[in-house]
Amino acid sequence: MRTDTGKPVHLKDYRVPDYLIGKVDLDVKLHLSATRVQARLAFRPNPNGRRNAPLVLDGDGLTATKIVLDGEVLDLQNSASWNGFATSDAFTLNAPPQRPFDLEIETEIDPSANTQLMGLYRSGSVYCTQCEAEGFRRITYFLDRPDVLSVYTVRLEAESSEAPLLLSNGNKVASGKIDGTSRHFAIWHDPYPKPCYLFALVGSNLGSIFSDFTTRSGRKVLLGIHVEHGKEPQAAYAMDALKRAMAWDERVYGREYDLDVFNIVAVSDFNMGAMENKGLNIFNDKYVLASPETATDTDYAHVEAVIAHEYFHNWTGNRITCRDWFQLCLKEGLTVFRDHAFSADMRSAPVRRIADVRALRAQQFAEDAGPLAHNVRPETYREINNFYTSTIYEKGAEIIRMLKVLIGDDSFRKGMDLYFDRYDGKAATIEDFISCFAEISRRDLTQFSLWYNQAGTPILKVTASYDEVAKTFTLDFSQSCKPTPNQEKKEPFVIPIALGLVVPGVGDIALRAGGNDGASQAEISSGVIEFTSTQRRITFCDVARRPIPSLLRGFSAPVRLDYAAGEADLMTLIKHDSDGFNRWQAAQTYATRMLQRSVACIRAGDLPRYDADFTAALLSIIEQTTDPAFTAQAITLPSEADIAREIGEDVDPDAIHLAREALRQDFGREIKEALLSAYTRLSEIGPYSPDAVSAGRRALRNAALDLLAAGDRLEGVCLATRQFEDAETMTDKFAALCVLAQIPGTEREKALDSFYGAYQGEALVIDKWFALQATIPERGTLNRVKALMKHKAFSYSNPNRLRALAGSFAAANPTQFNADDGSGYDFIAGIVLDLDPKNPQLAARLLSAFKSWRMLEPRRKALAESALRHVAGAGALSADVKDIAERSLP
């Protein structure tokens, strides 16, 4: 474990490397506890760097057994003889040659003891690597920074029986048995220069499925997916998604795959979702394996999205990489944007958009509103692992989405082409990226770039007025953004506001410019207002009747909209807005307002009351449904976290839970007949298909079941039990179990036991079983979670399992994590401290569940702060955990 060095890294201190490494030859002899790595590195001074600078290679827990400089063996016991140092964390040559030179480094590493899951480690019986961000330095000494790009040739050697499959980046150029031994080897060569964080190797005994893809220019690419023996059929959907992603990137961006092979390896112990190593993606098996019996529709959608995401990195991340880690969003924001667009094309676009925005608000808005808020391009970090955040990923994607709206589809595509042409094979910055679009669109994007440099979620305030005599309709916009850590004041953002004016019975009316407000007819009729100052007024003329503004259509900017729409207006938008996203949004806004009022009632000791109009609107959505996936989203109430975020301060999670439950019960009772009829009508017909339409039918049916059970427990248990017993798909089975899990009693315990018994051999399904129990909103849940930590299927060392149990409790059980005696906080703080020496990255992630503690009511706030202080004050903390703890505290 690297403990905290206390040394922050600043963007302003960036300097080009003084030395470059053109070629890397690795020879890796795999062994369970003593893997030998020989690295031959071809250095040359960087003509743009400093002359005569010392060469400092990064290391992390390394021991060199031999180092040879240009053929001369260095005496490692006597570093004075070669004017340098070799410690576990660095190898330094004070006066390296000022001409090309070779360095050969031999290290010995212990993959079995690597519990951090960074560098070379064992996952089950698989040798695998994870080098992003700074894992390569745990394999050999290196210039471990993304702007040092090298061509790699890798020779792997292992016992034939232990690791018959030997993979690395690029194309395989040789393989064979090693005479007189039980070992074999493979040599891989990657012709594309890459930073070391994209290096990967795998040595394993896995089952494989193969297919191929012929690129647009007619090259045949061999595709392989490698999974645990016996799980091969569960990789078929990932293979299908991969081929669709490859074809999509050719069609939409003109980007072809560039090697002869593309391999995906699924492992069960993985800190992240997946990793885009060149030609050899390594995946958390959660995002590869799917079968109707073991994966829900949501799991299928995730597999499709993550497979596409990692594949798309081949161009946005690998061919063009980041100059430094401050530019992480250059590859991540852009690639999330691309995978969102892919999923929208594969599925229903408005439904995908709703899901993406729900996730953005749940994760990123919460982060932006708390102590961990940071720029999409940070300016300083102490531990880069803590910046793989929804701000970098999801908000980074939203920025690119806005850019596309502002400059138009055509200029956006041309700008992307220019970016690919100009920066291929290079390490780029956000400025490089933005400059391509500025050049193509001939626009000054300086102010737009503030989205990268200012943290916080802007608040867009809108007021409206209608002049019945002049027949004009006026919208007044203003924007503001609350202070975030180290950023008191913000400059105005460029906010693209997509909008329409809706007249009941007529629909969208034509937009005509009319005021002396500087808005051209072209801007007005594009339906997108560009808001760049603190205030702007837009007047529309020839408006015969008072219209209802439909603002921020498709969620055209990642902002909080503050507009006091009347309830009747919201109702009209729910029924008539031509923008699907805003129809959903109107229903969410309406429900959120009712829920906020109920929370206030409950805290004042009164009973909450709900609105019959809203119930009627929901009823009409269900009865007139044409897109079940959309309807399922529309009848799903805002989450407890959504409501908490809207309330913003003095938050009482128990009151929020009670208010939301009361509303669910009310709906379930009031629209019971419609729910029952939808539930019956949407029963599965024909064989299972994971496609979006069938998944939408299942989503609505299960949303109906959930509300039915809220309205009538007895009937709910009855229906859910029947569904649980009869279900042929994991989607339906698990949805029924989720309903049963909310209702205390023997039925619940029976169902949980039977589920465990049926799926104990399926690790990913058992993760669901752990996660579900951790999110039950009752007092007894913490004890249940503690007991489950002693369950034979629980393992501290498997990140998926730990995330399922402890992670779900912290992130998805607001009433119990925030229990008013502080027990939830203490429990999670204890796990963070236990886990930190073994897997600091995972421990830091878990600790970031405290990110919203400052908006809680005083009692809980004090308890959360004390738990955080307990963590921050513990002895030898990792840099990861110390960083999160200290940033979270005032």
Under the rule (CB under 5 A), what is the footprint of Zn ion?
Answer: 332, 335
Alpha helices per DSSP H over 106-229: none
Backbone angles phi, psi at 37, to 5 degrees: -120, 120
Structure tokens at 637: 């109430």
| Least Å from the CB of residue 399 to Zn ion | 16
Work out the burial of residue 761: count CB atoms within 10 Å of its CB; fewer than 13 is exposed, 13-18 middle, 19 or more buried.
exposed
- How far is the C-alpha of 318 from the C-alpha of 332, rounded, in Å? 11
Report phi then psi at 9, rounded to 5: -105, 135
Separation of alpha carbons 639 and 644, rounded Å: 9
Sign of CA dihedral 76, 81, 85, 91: negative
DSSP 607-651: PP---HHHHHHHHHHHHT-S-HHHHHHHTSPPPHHHHHHHH-SSB
Structure tokens at 747: 């039925």
d(CA 231, CA 119): 26
Nearer to Zn ion, 339 or 654 (CB): 339
Shortest CB 309 distance to Zn ion, Å: 6
d(CA 248, CA 264): 19
Which residues have CB under 8 Å from 712's CB, separation 6+?
668, 669, 672
Residue 334 CB, shortest distance to Zn ion, in Å, is: 9
DSSP 32-57: SS-EEEEEEEEEEE-TTS-TTPPEEE
Report the phi/psi class of residue 518: left, alpha or beta, with left for phi > 0 and alpha for psi in -120 to 50.
left
Based on CB atoms, which residue is closest to Zn ion, 107 or 321? 321
CB of 209 to Zn ion, least distance (A): 24
Structure tokens at 318: 């690998």
d(C-alpha 147, C-alpha 143), whole Å: 9
Distance CA 720, CA 706 (A): 9
Residue nearer to Zn ion on the CB measure, 332 or 654: 332
Q: Which is nearer to Zn ion, 420 or 466 (CB)?
A: 420
β-sheet bridge partners, residue 35: 109
Could you count the other beta carbons within 10 Å of the beta carbon of residue 798?
A: 19
CB of 198 to Zn ion, least distance (A): 12
Q: Looking at beta carbons only, is 332 or 865 nearer to Zn ion?
A: 332
Least Å from the CB of residue 715 to Zn ion? 45
Annotated catalytic residue 646: no
CB of 849 to Zn ion, least distance (A): 22
Q: Which of 664, 688, 576 has the alpha carbon at shortest distance from 621?
A: 576
Q: Which is nearer to Zn ion, 204 or 335 (CB)?
A: 335
Q: Which is nearer to Zn ion, 332 or 642 (CB)?
A: 332
Given a contact cutoff of 8 angstroms between Cβ atoms, the answer to whether 289 and 225 are in contact is no
Q: What is the nearest approach in angstroms of Zn ion to the Cβ of residue 363?
A: 15
CA distances from 153 to 25, 156, 171, 187 (A): 5, 10, 10, 7
Closer Cβ to Zn ion, 124 or 273, answer by number = 273
462, 495 contact by CB (below 8 A): no
Please pick, among 310, 367, 646, 670, the residue that the annotation labels catalytic. Answer: 310
Residue closer to Zn ion by CB (options 317, 456) is 317
The nearest distance, CB 400 to Zn ion, in angstroms, is 14
Whole-number Å distance between alpha carbons of 877 and 837: 8
Select 21 or 329, whichever has its Cβ closest to Zn ion: 329
Q: Which is nearer to Zn ion, 332 or 712 (CB)?
A: 332
| CB of 875 vs Zn ion, minimal distance in Å | 34
- E strand or H helix at 71: none
Backbone phi and psi for residue 310, each to the nearest 5 degrees, phi listed first: -65, -40
Closest CB 332 distance from Zn ion, rounded Å: 5
Rounded to 10 deg, the angle between the 713-726 and 746-759 helix axes is 20
Catalytic residues: 310
